[in-house]
Structure 1
Amino acid sequence: MPQLNPSPWLFIFLLSWSMLLLVLKTKTLQLTPHNTPSLPNQQTLATAPWNWPWI
């Protein structure tokens, strides 16, 4: 069964994955995020209780 012989396609498979990961890694590391992370707002807002009309 020739499909079980890894000789012809294993090298091509590994080479293509390594090139793909190499290209994608360099492309994704060059990207900058659109929203820079910032610290959350530490102010607490004053809340008022709701007046439910059916209670």
Structure 2
Amino acid sequence: MPQLLPTPWFGTLLFAWVVFLGLFPKKVMTHTFPHEPVSPKTQKLEKTPWNWPWA
């Protein structure tokens, strides 16, 4: 069963982890958003009781 031999796949695994841990975090951290996120307004909403006509 060739898929159990680590020789051809171990290099690919190491290369993928080097790319994922070395290249992608730099690209993600340097990403800039077009607009700064704005926190939602914290307003208290008026709650009116619901009057059930059959109660």
TM-score (norm 2): 0.51
Q: Does 1:38 align with 2:39?
A: yes
Measure, in 2, the Cα distance between the counterparts of 1:32 and 1:11. 33
Partner of residue 10, structure 2:
10
> 1:18 is aligned with what amino acid?
V
Q: Deviations over 1:20-39 (max 9, x none)?
A: 33222122112235660426
Cα RMSD (Å) = 3.0
For 2:45 and 2:9, the matched residues in 1 are separated by 63
Q: How many residues of Structure 1 are paired with residues of Structure 2 in the alignment?
A: 54
Change (3 A) 1:4 1:51: closer
Partner Cα distance (1:46, 1:5) in 2: 67
TM-score under structure 1 length normalisation: 0.51
Structure 1 residue ranges without an equivalent (≥5): none
Match of residue 29 from structure 2: 29
> Percent identity over the alignment?
41
Q: Where in structure 1 do 4 or more consecutive aligned residues deviate above 4 Å?
A: 1-8
Partner amino acid for 1:45?
L
Gapped regions of structure 2 (runs ≥ 5): none
